[in-house]
Amino acid sequence: MTELTSLLYPITVFVLAVLVGFEVISKVPATLHTPLMSGANSIHGIVLVGGMFIAATADSPLLYLLSFVAIVFGAANVVGGYVVTDRMLQMFRKKPAPAKVGADGGSSTGQAQG
Amino acid sequence: MTYENVYPFVWLAWLVGAACFILGLHFMNSPASARNGNRLSAAGMAVAVLATGVLLVAQGASALAWAIIVVGFLIGGAAGLVTARTVPMTAMPQLVSIFNAVGGGAAALVAIDDFITHGEAGGASVSTTLFVVLGVVIGSVTFSGSLIASGKLQGVISGKPILFPGSRILTVVLGLVALLGTLGLVFSATGTVKLDPMVADLVLLAIIGSALVFGVTMVLPIGGADMPVVISLLNAFTGTAAAMAGFVIDNPVLIIAGALVGASGGILTKLMADAMNRSILNIMVGGFGGGDHAAAGAGGGEGGTVRQIGADDAAIQLAYAERVIIVPGYGLAVAQAQHACRELGELLEERGVDVKYAIHPVAGRMPGHMNVLLAEANVPYPLLKEMDEINPEFDRADVVLVVGANDVTNPAARRPGNPVSGMPILDVDHARSIVVIKRGAGRGYAGIDNELYTNPKTGMLYADAKDGLAQLTAAVKAL
């Protein structure tokens, strides 16, 4: 009984978070679905935190190895995910960037935030 | 700085991180704010990770643990950074698949690790065991399944559905192994069955093995054309696996983040399946959706006559039109023709033509892929129109230029009784005149003839997408 009780809070959080997710994400336009997915991808890189915890409690070679791999995976997921999402999103411009002649001007980034 | 003093503040920092994820996703509702949303989300991630670091300091983590964390982070982070900087935009689906794989893999490892630790400490509780097994199964299926998906997208593994005799039976056996293993571990946790820790570890190993093989047998039979659905589904799996890992280590930010990703993947899966007019179950069972080259050579026996058109004639139509809609499909991406497409579009705009781009939800290999490719080619996003938005405009369009899109323009979808029946399509045939750039007389993924091509209003320009667009651009310039 007590064990079930201790589960109630996490399950509540999970269900509410799923509903918030549905609400927020259903408003994302189809134009941005690829950055959305890659951004969501970076968010599940949060398992990195889990990797840090298991590294801290590890006490055998096997556990050290498992936690190391988990951290490498999680870090690649987080860093790569956010960087590639940013790279994609900076390409979405309201107006076309100045033609290639203006290679000297960094002004194109200024226009990016339409 | 004791653990007890620090813990509430770390918890609050996790909450801040979770809130940043939600707000970041919220800002994705417009291309203008999306970049800042992603940065906010990244900031939330940094807060959550740093707070965890503080907690570990307070906990007195060993030097070896820190070495593992720091070195692991540097290696993984560097690999992620380099890949993210260099990957071509056409390869985004593969990269997202790889990230799904590592995310799911990491979640499974966290769960496995927790199980082993608990086993040594005298067994885990029933609920922990249940979530451990769920995390292990979902994470492992995602890991191997995403690697296969990535291989298919990269062309390392054939994009065609791969079916082998007995694959269904194998899938059932794998499912049974996982289910029996789970029951064994859960009963062991309740104390009904006494399992030696060693035996329990072996049972878990069997579950991991069957889940990994299951991921492979799940994705292999799925054709290349169904990849947008598969990637979305695996994305949802990864999120769920992360949430399960959150339940295992009792961490709120993992639960919330995992739930958000699960919801996101779920929505995209549904949208993609709807856009292809197929149920998710139907796709998972596989056998349709051939892949890149399935259409090649299937050209014979077209019903009705096809009118060919030269680049000069097509260019005149385009140049003197008032409204032109360009319909890019995956063939455009395969031919790397997005820049040539933008060049023609700009040229027409300079002549005063109103140019828009009609993007079908499954144009490309993942949700929204075509938009990214065109954005990369410097097409302003207000010109990129979603299907529902652009469909009423075809009636008023003078010319529609279809480049490398097939099934999504087939009017046969409006009639029952054929493979594309009921699939939402772009109403290209409503336009006054249609020009189709196509490599040959082949069929699309659905394997049927496109009635658009035999429409008297349609002119076929047989060329590679890039060459065809270049010919049109040159011809428009010469006018």
The answer on pLDDT for B300 being more than 50 is no
Confidence of residue B367 (pLDDT cuts 50, 70, 90): confident
pLDDT-wise least confident of A71-85, B71-85, B322-336? B322-336
* 8 Å CB contact of B72 and A66: no
CA distance B187 to B455: 66
The token pair at B360 is 């079908």
Which pLDDT belongs to residue B286? 57
What secondary structure, in 3-state letters, does B350-404 show? HCCCEEEEEECCCCCCCCCHHHHHHHHCCCCHHHEEEHHHHHHHHHHCCEEEEEC
CA distance B448 to B227: 20
The token pair at A7 is 């589960």
Which pLDDT belongs to residue B1? 67
Which pLDDT belongs to residue B254? 95
The answer on pLDDT for B301 being more than 80 is no
The token pair at B199 is 């035996």
Nearest Cα residue in chain A from B44: A43
The answer on pLDDT for B413 being more than 80 is yes
Q: What is the mean pLDDT of residues B334-354?
A: 91
- From B138, B99, B367, B135, select the one nearest B230 (Cα to Cα): B367
Burial label, B222 (beta-carbon count in 10 A; 0-12, 13-18, 19+): buried
Which pLDDT belongs to residue B38? 96
Q: What is the mean pLDDT of residues B98-117?
A: 93
The rounded radius of gyration (Å) of the Cα atoms in chain B is 26
CA distance B276 to B88: 26
Q: Is A108 on the interface with B (CB under 8 A)?
A: no
The token pair at B246 is 């959150």
Q: DSSP secondary-structure letter at A44?
A: G
**Encoded amino acid at B249, one letter:** I
Give tens-digit pLDDT for B250-266: 899 999 999 999 999 99
* 8 Å CB contact of B38 and A97: no
* 8 Å CB contact of B366 and A6: no
* 8 Å CB contact of A50 and B110: yes
Which pLDDT belongs to residue B426? 94
Confidence of residue A105 (pLDDT cuts 50, 70, 90): very low
Q: What is the mean pLDDT of residues B457-470?
A: 92
Give tens-digit pLDDT for A55-99: 998 889 999 999 999 999 999 999 999 999 999 999 998 887 665
Phi first, then psi: give them for residue B434, nearest 5 degrees. -135, 135
Listed in sequence order, the residues at least 6 apart from B470 whose beta carbon sits closer than 8 Å to its beta carbon are B340
Phi first, then psi: give them for residue B121, nearest 5 degrees. -85, 15
Phi first, then psi: give them for residue B325, nearest 5 degrees. -115, 130
Phi first, then psi: give them for residue A25, nearest 5 degrees. -75, -30
CA distance B11 to B253: 9
Which spans in B87-196 are helix H?
92-120, 126-154, 167-190
Look at B330 and B229; give whichever has higher pLDDT: B229
Residue B120 CA, chain-centre distance (Å), reads 39
ipTM reported for the complex, 2 dp: 0.86
Q: Which residues of chain A make contact with B426, given a CB cutoff of 8 A?
A: none
Q: Which residues of chain B make contact with A92, given a CB cutoff of 8 A?
A: 31, 34-35, 371, 375, 381
Q: State what percent of residues in chain B have pLDDT above 90.
A: 58
The token pair at A42 is 């970076």
Give A26→chain B minimum CA distance, Å.
7
CA distance B208 to B210: 6
Give tens-digit pLDDT for B156-201: 887 777 777 777 788 888 888 888 888 888 888 777 777 777 888 8
Which pLDDT belongs to residue B186? 81
The answer on pLDDT for A104 being more than 70 is no
Asked whether the beta carbons of A64 and B64 are under 8 A apart, the reply is yes
Q: State what percent of residues in chain A have pLDDT above 90.
A: 68
Q: Which residues of chain A make contact with B36, given a CB cutoff of 8 A?
A: 113
- From B372, B146, B194, B40, select the one nearest A29 (Cα to Cα): B372
Asked whether the beta carbons of B307 and B460 are under 8 A apart, the reply is yes
What's the Cα-to-Cα distance from B427 to each of B292, B370, B414, B424, rounded to whole Å? 24, 18, 10, 9
Confidence of residue B289 (pLDDT cuts 50, 70, 90): very low
| Active-site residue, selected from the candidate residues B114, B407, B427, B449 | B407
The answer on pLDDT for B126 being more than 90 is no
Look at B208 and B283; give whichever has higher pLDDT: B208
Which spans in A26-97 are helix H?
33-43, 47-57, 61-89
The answer on pLDDT for B348 being more than 90 is yes
Work out the angle at residue A47's Cα, subtended by the Cα atoms of residues B367 and A64, and round it to the nearest 5 degrees: 135
Look at A94 and A49; give whichever has higher pLDDT: A49
Give tens-digit pLDDT for B16-27: 999 999 999 999
Confidence of residue B374 (pLDDT cuts 50, 70, 90): very high
Asked whether the beta carbons of A47 and A94 are under 8 A apart, the reply is no
Listed in sequence order, the residues at least 6 apart from B6 whose beta carbon sits closer than 8 Å to its beta carbon are B54, B55, B58
Instruction: Compute the mean pLDDT over every residue in chain B, rounded to the nearest whole number.
Output: 88
- From A97, A87, A84, A31, select the one nearest B361 (Cα to Cα): A31
Q: Which residues of chain A make contact with B375, given a CB cutoff of 8 A?
A: 88, 91-93
Q: How many residues does chain B have?
A: 479
CB-nearest to A44 from B61, B261, B375 is: B261
Give B149→chain A minimum CA distance, Å.
16
Q: Is B231 on the interface with A (CB under 8 A)?
A: yes
Which pLDDT belongs to residue B167? 75
pLDDT-wise least confident of A56-60, B89-93, B330-334, B462-466? B330-334
Give B145→chain A minimum CA distance, Å.
16
Give B185→chain A minimum CA distance, Å.
17
- From B179, B42, B205, select the one nearest B108 (Cα to Cα): B205
Kindly report the pTM of this predicted structure.
Answer: 0.87
CB-nearest to A96 from B31, B366, B378 is: B378
Confidence of residue B123 (pLDDT cuts 50, 70, 90): low
Asked whether the beta carbons of B453 and B460 are under 8 A apart, the reply is yes
Q: Is B127 on the interface with A (CB under 8 A)?
A: yes
Which pLDDT belongs to residue B74? 97
- From B42, B50, B62, select the one nearest B10 (Cα to Cα): B50
Look at A30 and B47; give whichever has higher pLDDT: B47
Q: Is B407 a catalytic residue?
A: yes
The answer on pLDDT for B35 being more than 70 is yes
Note which residues in 372-401 of chain B have CB less than 8 A from chain A. Answer: 372, 375-376, 378-382, 384, 386-387
Q: What is the mean pLDDT of residues A24-50?
A: 93
Which pLDDT belongs to residue B120? 62
Note which residues in 11-70 of chain A have CB less than 8 A from chain B. Answer: 13-15, 17-22, 24-59, 62-64, 66-70
CA distance B295 to B291: 8
**Encoded amino acid at B392, one letter:** P
The token pair at B329 is 């499909």
CB-nearest to B260 from A40, A79, A85 is: A40
CB-nearest to A92 from B232, B268, B381 is: B381
The answer on pLDDT for B8 being more than 80 is yes
